[in-house]
Amino acid sequence: MLSATFYGVRGSTPCSCDSTREFGGNTACVLVEVPDEPPIICDLGTGLRYLGRDLDDRGQSNGFAATALISHLHWDHIQGTPFFRPLLGEGATLEIVGPRQNGSTLETEFTRFVRPPVFPVAIDQLPGDVTFRDATDEVIQVGSATVQCFDVPHIGPTNGYRIDVGSGSLAYISDHQQPMDGSLDVADSLVEACRDVDILVHDAQFDHEEFQQRSDWGHCTPEYALELARRSGARRLVLFHHDPGHDDAWVRATVKRIQGAAGTDVTIIGAAEGLRLESGN
Ligand SMILES: [Zn+2]
Ligand SMILES: [Zn+2]
């Protein structure tokens, strides 16, 4: 069994205001838990700060050890890192897994983001210990979970992940460039990576009209997410990476529209802060 708890569901930039309160304004961060094992964190966006607060409240901050699977290095996926409370205590460890960088390493690129003058301290000055692992198109083991890291079309090196434990599975594709002509062609490699997955968390940033205006911004329509869910046989599709310009009514209407298109094949869910899903029961 695994569970997924959503702490940040927004793409691009945080947006905290009344009109986004239902689904939430923090950027990408999803906690994946397998009972009695260290947690896996998908992306380190601003939602991470609230995950840190929850861990503190649960008394799980001390001696904290986790693995983070980051999709890529755009701000909305890493910005929460220095605000993650467990890293402000001695003894905490966080291994960050992410895509190989062109001519560089994940560590080199990531640490450029957390150091003066863009942040008051460097990441290696935090009391907790952060380590890095470059992984693209390979399978790694995190506790009892098998994690498949696979390349996803976006802007710059980007990973998707599939997490399998004995009886549960989840695939995480936060940012996904749809073909710029708006067609629904999905790479066979991604269909295979998501084959029969129980929970598919997927980019759904733009509607068709917005996509036509921003076709090279690295994202896709919810219809494209549904195409992948259908072709791969995913059971539940979680529409994720909501555009910061979309209010709650927009997301609600989109979930309804896509559920209508999906029929009974796939259950459509709008990612919302605080949402918790279980797989493998
Ligand atoms: Zn993003
Ligand atoms: Zn991105």
- Residues 45-92 have pLDDT tens digits of 999 999 999 998 988 777 799 999 999 999 999 999 999 999 998 889
Q: Which two tokens stand for residue 199?
A: 């929970």
The ligand minimizing its distance to the Cα of 46 is 1
Side-chain half-sphere exposure of 251, counting CA atoms within 13 A: 27
**What pLDDT shows up at residue 61?**
75
Q: Which domains does the chain possess?
A: 2-279 (3.60.15.10)
Which portions of the chain are predicted below pLDDT 70?
281
**What pLDDT shows up at residue 94?**
97
Spacing, Cα 117 to ligand 2 middle (Å) = 23
Question: For residues 25 and 16, is the Cβ–Cβ distance under 8 A?
Answer: yes
Spacing, Cα 59 to ligand 1 middle (Å) = 30
**What pLDDT shows up at residue 49?**
98
Spacing, Cα 272 to ligand 1 middle (Å) = 16
Spacing, Cα 18 to ligand 1 middle (Å) = 22
**What pLDDT shows up at residue 2?**
96
Question: For residues 34 and 143, is the Cβ–Cβ distance under 8 A?
Answer: yes
Spacing, Cα 155 to ligand 2 middle (Å) = 6
Side-chain half-sphere exposure of 221, counting CA atoms within 13 A: 22
C-alpha 261: how far from chain center: 24
Buried b (16+ CB within 10 A) or exposed e, 21-57: eebbbbbbbbbbbbeeeebbbbbbbbbbbbbbeebbe
**What pLDDT shows up at residue 281?**
57
Question: pTM of the full predicted structure?
Answer: 0.97
What contacts 134, CB < 8 A, 6 or more positions away?
Answer: 98, 99, 100, 101, 105, 106
The ligand minimizing its distance to the Cα of 243 is 1
The terminus-to-terminus CA distance of the chain in angstroms comes to: 6
Spacing, Cα 43 to ligand 1 middle (Å) = 10
Spacing, Cα 72 to ligand 1 middle (Å) = 8
Phi-psi region of 29 (alpha: psi -120 to 50; beta: other; left: phi over 0): beta
Spacing, Cα 221 to ligand 1 middle (Å) = 14
The residue behind tokens 């961060």 is 29
